Amino acid sequence: AQSVSQHNHHVILSEAASLELGCNYSYGGTVNLFWYVQYPGQHLQLLLKYFSGDPLVKGIKGFEAEFIKSKFSFNLRKPSVQWSDTAEYFCVLSGNTGKLIFGQGTTLQVKP
Protein backbone atom coordinates (compact mmCIF):
# COMPACT_ATOMS: atom_id res chain seq x y z
CA ALA A 1 0.00 0.00 0.00
CA GLN A 2 1.14 3.53 -0.73
CA SER A 3 1.35 5.73 2.34
CA VAL A 4 3.22 8.57 3.99
CA SER A 5 3.74 8.87 7.73
CA GLN A 6 4.88 12.03 9.46
CA HIS A 7 6.39 11.60 12.89
CA ASN A 8 5.08 14.71 14.62
CA HIS A 9 1.64 16.28 14.53
CA HIS A 10 2.55 19.47 16.36
CA VAL A 11 5.98 20.97 16.96
CA ILE A 12 6.71 24.09 18.99
CA LEU A 13 10.12 25.75 18.73
CA SER A 14 11.72 29.03 19.71
CA GLU A 15 13.27 31.23 17.06
CA ALA A 16 16.81 30.18 16.06
CA ALA A 17 16.21 26.58 17.10
CA SER A 18 16.99 23.83 14.62
CA LEU A 19 14.18 21.92 12.96
CA GLU A 20 13.88 18.37 11.78
CA LEU A 21 10.53 16.92 10.71
CA GLY A 22 10.45 13.20 10.17
CA CYS A 23 8.78 11.50 7.21
CA ASN A 24 8.65 7.85 6.18
CA TYR A 25 6.91 6.43 3.16
CA SER A 26 5.73 3.14 1.77
CA TYR A 27 5.67 2.65 -2.00
CA GLY A 28 6.58 -0.28 -4.23
CA GLY A 29 8.42 1.51 -7.00
CA THR A 30 10.29 4.62 -7.98
CA VAL A 31 9.03 7.60 -6.04
CA ASN A 32 9.16 11.32 -6.29
CA LEU A 33 9.09 13.06 -2.92
CA PHE A 34 8.00 16.54 -1.92
CA TRP A 35 7.51 18.78 1.02
CA TYR A 36 4.60 21.20 0.69
CA VAL A 37 3.92 24.05 3.10
CA GLN A 38 0.77 25.97 3.94
CA TYR A 39 1.32 29.29 5.68
CA PRO A 40 -1.65 30.67 7.64
CA GLY A 41 -4.32 31.91 5.22
CA GLN A 42 -2.34 30.93 2.13
CA HIS A 43 -2.41 28.21 -0.51
CA LEU A 44 -0.44 25.01 -0.36
CA GLN A 45 2.91 25.62 -2.03
CA LEU A 46 5.94 23.55 -2.90
CA LEU A 47 8.89 23.80 -0.50
CA LEU A 48 11.22 21.33 -2.19
CA LYS A 49 11.24 18.16 -4.29
CA TYR A 50 13.30 15.07 -4.96
CA PHE A 51 13.06 13.24 -8.28
CA SER A 52 16.51 11.66 -8.66
CA GLY A 53 20.21 12.43 -8.27
CA ASP A 54 21.70 14.08 -5.22
CA PRO A 55 19.69 12.82 -2.22
CA LEU A 56 20.22 16.10 -0.38
CA VAL A 57 17.84 18.64 -1.87
CA LYS A 58 17.57 22.31 -1.07
CA GLY A 59 14.37 24.28 -1.18
CA ILE A 60 13.12 27.77 -0.59
CA LYS A 61 13.71 29.76 2.60
CA GLY A 62 16.72 27.72 3.75
CA PHE A 63 14.95 24.36 4.00
CA GLU A 64 16.57 21.12 2.91
CA ALA A 65 15.62 17.46 2.93
CA GLU A 66 17.53 14.22 2.68
CA PHE A 67 16.27 11.16 0.82
CA ILE A 68 17.52 7.95 2.46
CA LYS A 69 16.30 5.10 0.28
CA SER A 70 17.33 2.34 2.70
CA LYS A 71 15.23 3.91 5.44
CA PHE A 72 12.33 4.98 3.20
CA SER A 73 12.73 8.42 4.73
CA PHE A 74 12.65 12.02 3.54
CA ASN A 75 13.22 14.24 6.57
CA LEU A 76 12.95 18.02 6.39
CA ARG A 77 15.54 20.21 8.10
CA LYS A 78 16.31 23.83 8.75
CA PRO A 79 19.26 24.93 10.91
CA SER A 80 17.58 28.02 12.36
CA VAL A 81 13.83 28.64 12.25
CA GLN A 82 12.14 32.03 12.14
CA TRP A 83 8.74 33.13 13.38
CA SER A 84 7.67 33.34 9.72
CA ASP A 85 8.19 29.57 9.37
CA THR A 86 5.03 28.99 11.41
CA ALA A 87 2.92 26.85 9.08
CA GLU A 88 1.67 23.37 8.35
CA TYR A 89 4.12 21.08 6.57
CA PHE A 90 3.17 18.07 4.45
CA CYS A 91 5.42 15.28 3.27
CA VAL A 92 4.12 14.00 -0.07
CA LEU A 93 4.95 11.20 -2.45
CA SER A 94 4.12 10.76 -6.09
CA GLY A 95 4.30 7.69 -8.24
CA ASN A 96 4.30 7.38 -11.99
CA THR A 97 0.75 8.71 -12.50
CA GLY A 98 1.45 12.03 -10.85
CA LYS A 99 -1.06 11.31 -8.09
CA LEU A 100 0.07 12.90 -4.81
CA ILE A 101 -0.22 11.01 -1.54
CA PHE A 102 -0.03 13.30 1.47
CA GLY A 103 1.06 12.64 5.01
CA GLN A 104 -1.22 13.88 7.77
CA GLY A 105 0.76 17.08 8.21
CA THR A 106 2.86 18.67 10.97
CA THR A 107 1.90 21.99 12.46
CA LEU A 108 4.97 24.02 13.30
CA GLN A 109 4.64 26.89 15.74
CA VAL A 110 7.67 29.13 16.16
CA LYS A 111 7.69 31.38 19.21
CA PRO A 112 9.40 34.76 18.80
Q: Which residues form the interface with another protein (CB under 8 A)?
A: 4, 43-46, 49, 90, 92, 97-105
In the bound complex, what is the minimum distance in angstroms from residue 90's beta carbon to another protein? Answer: 5
- CA dist 97 and 81 (Å) reads 34
Beta bridge partner(s), residue 91? 35
User: Given the complex with another protein, which of 62 and 105 has the nearer CB atom?
Assistant: 105
Which stretch of DSSP H or E encloses residue 73? strand 73-78
The per-residue DSSP string of 77-106 comes to EESS--GGG-EEEEEEEE-TT--EEE---E
In the bound complex, what is the minimum distance in angstroms from residue 28's beta carbon to another protein? Answer: 17
In the bound complex, what is the minimum distance in angstroms from residue 14's beta carbon to another protein? Answer: 25
User: Given the complex with another protein, which of 37 and 81 has the nearer CB atom?
Assistant: 37
In the bound complex, what is the minimum distance in angstroms from residue 80's beta carbon to another protein? Answer: 27
53-64 residues labelled b (16+ CB within 10 A) or e (exposed): eeeebebeeebb
User: Given the complex with another protein, which of 7 and 17 has the nearer CB atom?
Assistant: 7
User: Given the complex with another protein, which of 51 and 83 has the nearer CB atom?
Assistant: 51
